[in-house]
């Protein structure tokens, strides 16, 4: 086992858990960066950063969306002897008008990418598009379970990327040479509309799950009806806007470039998630 653990912030999330298990399978020492980790790591409590970073030469960063904390974190990491960082960002951050000027996650990613590129450490940036696992572990899961995915996504298609691929690229960048200075944009191998994605899930689980096209106004009113604050409802609608505008349907070559193989198809994600019981109520 390597003595110096790789720190995986977000190590309990969709991407981080997969990185942790891939590394452990290779007998690489890992420290899970989480508010429930030992030592505890909390983005909002800078006193916890030093102990989480202590002794690590390599760090995976899942940033704290809405805050500009990646820069001071990377500076502290460098001061403590970290040599390599891999940052999880998002596709579209460099596309004008992608998610609106007020997008909090976008600001976090733009500042975080700049901080990582200018910190003097070896760096790799991952820019995934929409995760397939949003349907099984994220934003859309409850709607899938309820049988209706209500979104203002029009007929826009999305080249959903499997978090397994994001994690595999992250592991390559964390453990192998040759990925320094690379920005990997990551997508799946084809674009699907929300209706098509939901139909595949519906077939796999054997019950009806349908896509309900909403206008932006209907969507915001629907979320407010569920108790969402207006600002959060508007922010969610803004996050969906790129799908409606066809800005997420292009394919990216990052998985192929980083791993020398094509990305996993959405149908394989659906099969694996259904087998794992992701949509059992």
Q: In angstroms, what is the minimal distance from the CB of 40 to ligand NAP?
A: 9
Cβ closest to ligand NAP, residue 58 vs residue 177: 58
Q: Nearest approach, Cβ of 118 to ligand NAP (angstroms)?
A: 20
Nearest distance, CB of residue 173 and ligand NAP, angstroms: 15
Report the distance separating Cα 63 and Cα 174, nearest Å.
Answer: 16
Instruction: Name which of 62 and 85 has its Cβ closer to ligand NAP.
Output: 62
Residue 102 or 217 with smaller CB distance to ligand NAP? 102
| Beta carbon nearer to ligand NAP, 103 or 202 | 103
Q: Closest residue to ligand NAP, Cβ-based? A: 13
Among 95, 115, 103, 123, CA closest to 252? 95
- H helices then E strands: how many in the chain? 11, 10
Residues near ligand NAP, by CB under 6 A: 10-16, 34-36, 41-44, 62-65, 88, 90, 105, 128, 130-131, 134, 138
Nearer Cβ to ligand NAP, position 8 or 172? 8
Q: What is the C-alpha to C-alpha distance for residues 42 and 46, in angstroms, rounded to an integer?
A: 7
| Tokens describing residue 272 | 């694996």
Q: Alpha-carbon distance 15 to 162, whole Å?
A: 9
Q: Using an 8 Å Cβ cutoff, are 36 and 30 in contact?
A: no
Beta carbon of residue 37, minimum distance to ligand NAP (angstroms, whole number): 7
What DSSP assignment string belongs to 132-146?
GGGTTTSTTHHHHHH
Q: Give me 231's structure tokens.
A: 């600002």
In the complex, least distance from residue 177 CB atom to ligand NAP, rounded to whole angstroms: 25
Q: How far is the CB of 239 from ligand NAP (least distance, A)?
A: 9
**Residue with smaller CB distance to ligand NAP, 120 or 169:** 169
Residue pair 116/78 in contact (Cβ under 8 Å)? The answer is no
Min separation Cβ 14 and ligand NAP, Å: 4
Q: Whose Cβ is closer to ligand NAP: residue 128's or residue 211's?
A: 128
Contacts of 159 (CB under 8 A, 6+ apart): 129, 187, 188, 189, 190, 191, 248, 249, 250, 251, 252
Burial class (CB in 10 A: 0-12, 13-18, 19+), 280: exposed
**3-class DSSP assignment, residue 49:** helix
């Amino acid at each position: 086992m390597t003595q110096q653990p790789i720190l995986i912030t977000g190590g309990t999330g969709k991407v981080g858990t997969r990185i942790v298990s891939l590394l452990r399978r290779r007998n690489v020492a890992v420290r899970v960066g989480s508010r429930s980790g030992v030592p505890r790591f909390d983005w909002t409590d800078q006193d916890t950063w030093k102990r989480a970073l202590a002794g690590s030469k390599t760090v995976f960063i899942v940033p704290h969306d809405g805050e500009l904390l990646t820069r001071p974190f990377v500076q502290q990491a460098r001061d403590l002897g970290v040599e390599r960082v891999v940052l999880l960002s998002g596709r579209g951050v460099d596309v004008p008008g992608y998610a609106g000027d007020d997008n909090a996650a976008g600001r976090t990613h733009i500042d975080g990418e700049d901080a990582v590129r200018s910190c003097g450490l070896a760096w790799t940036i991952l820019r995934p598009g929409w995760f397939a696992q949003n349907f099984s572990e994220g934003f859309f899961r409850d709607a899938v379970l309820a049988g209706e995915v209500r979104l203002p996504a029009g007929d826009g298609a999305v080249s959903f990327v499997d978090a397994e691929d994001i994690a595999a690229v992250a592991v390559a960048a964390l453990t192998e040479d040759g990925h320094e200075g690379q920005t990997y944009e990551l997508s799946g191998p084809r674009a699907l509309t929300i209706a098509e994605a939901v139909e595949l899930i519906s077939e796999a689980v054997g019950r009806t799950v349908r896509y309900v096209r909403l206008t932006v106004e209907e969507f915001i009113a629907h979320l407010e009806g569920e108790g969402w604050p207006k600002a959060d409802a508007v922010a969610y609608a803004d996050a969906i806007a790129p799908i409606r505008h066809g800005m997420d349907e292009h394919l990216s070559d990052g998985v192929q470039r980083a791993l020398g193989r094509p990305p996993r198809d959405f149908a394989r994600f659906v099969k694996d998630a259904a087998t794992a019981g992701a949509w059992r109520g």
